[in-house]
Amino acid sequence: MAQKVIAGNWKMNLNLEQSLELIEHLNTKEFDEDVRIIVFPPALFVQPISSLIEGDFEIGVQNFSQNNNGAYTGEISITQSESVGVTVGLIGHSERRAYNSESNELLKAKVNHAVVNNFDFIFCCGEPLSIREAGKELTFVKKQLQESLFHLTANQINGGIIAYEPVWAIGTGVTASSVQAEDMHKNIREWLTEVYSTDVANSISILYGGSCDVSNAKELLGCPNVDGGLIGGASLKAEGFSTIIQSY
Ligand code: PGA
């Protein structure tokens, strides 16, 4: 069985004081030990947050460089991230693809760099609205996975995490229906079975992301092939984020 994961992607929101308040509030909550909980604050705040966190939360970075330390102005490396307590990084969020021109090829390099460094990652995929309207979402998402992820060996991908985030559902308040989410997740699981094996496919957590909040989390997370959520806006409020984690 794939591990249940709930991750909060804060994006470029909150200042330091608000970030610490959110963590202090989360510290007062109790969560099921079976759920892997990860927060992705702005990288600037990772260190103060990691000294404040009391529960079994992990801290992730929203992005990291495909290079080792060196002359890459504005970038952060895996080793730097690990040195302040980060255990996992996002790869290929649709906002990075759209605003930072991150191509499937570049994302493949990040995947490889993470694997070489034994650094956990959540690989994000998902189609824009025009592709969904044309009925080509399966082909589109499969290509993203084929070009950036499916070159890994079974050992390398085993136990990994994929997040399906339809672009049209991110930050829009329009969520995928549980039928749409389950359909894509089931297909991703089938592709993993074809490329690797049933065992590998079942070891990979496939998260849903895109306007997932307290009103729809139970239904989305209840789908057989949805192993968790990557939560944006709704992860910025401790009460709502806790309720989503407790939906399991
Ligand atoms: P949202 O964002 O929950 O605000 O739609 C999800 C994400 O982009 O990870």
- Residues 47-63 pLDDT 10s: 999 999 998 899 999 99
Task: Judge whether residue 248 has pLDDT over 90.
Answer: no
Q: Which of 12, 38, 212 to mutate to test the pocket of ligand 1 (most atoms within 8 A of CB)?
A: 212
Average pLDDT (207-220) is 96
* Alpha-carbon span 3 to 16, nearest angstrom: 31
Look at ligand 1, atom 3, and give the residue with the nearest C-alpha: 232
The CB of 165 under 6 Å from ligand 1? The reply is yes
Average pLDDT (168-174) is 91
* Alpha-carbon span 92 to 112, nearest angstrom: 13
Q: In the prediction, which pLDDT does 63 show?
A: 98
Q: Which CATH number fits domain 4-245: 3.40.718.10, 1.10.3720.10, 3.40.50.410, 3.20.20.70?
A: 3.20.20.70
Concerning whether 151 is annotated as a catalytic residue, the answer is no
The CB of 166 under 6 Å from ligand 1? The reply is no
The CB of 175 under 6 Å from ligand 1? The reply is no
**Distance from residue 148's CA to the centre of ligand 1 (Å):** 21
Band of pLDDT at residue 1, cut at 50, 70 and 90 = confident
Q: In the prediction, which pLDDT does 55 show?
A: 82
Q: Spell 195-221 as b/e; 16+ CB within 10 A means b.
A: bbeeebbebbbbbbbbbbbbebbeebb
Q: In the prediction, which pLDDT does 148 show?
A: 98
Q: In the prediction, which pLDDT does 141 show?
A: 98
Average pLDDT (170-189) is 95
How do beta strands 205-209 and 228-231 pair? Answer: parallel
pLDDT per position as a tens digit, 71-99: 999 999 999 999 999 999 999 999 999 99
Task: Judge whether residue 174 has pLDDT over 90.
Answer: no
Helix (H) or strand (E) holding 98: helix 94-99
Domain layout of the chain by residue ranges? 4-245
The CA-atom distances, in angstroms, between 19 and each of 44, 46, 50, 180 are 11, 10, 11, 33
Whether the CB-CB separation of 107 and 163 falls below 8 Å is answered with no
**Distance from residue 135's CA to the centre of ligand 1 (Å):** 22
Q: Which atom of ligand 1 is nearest to the CA of 171?
A: 5
Task: Judge whether residue 173 has pLDDT over 90.
Answer: no
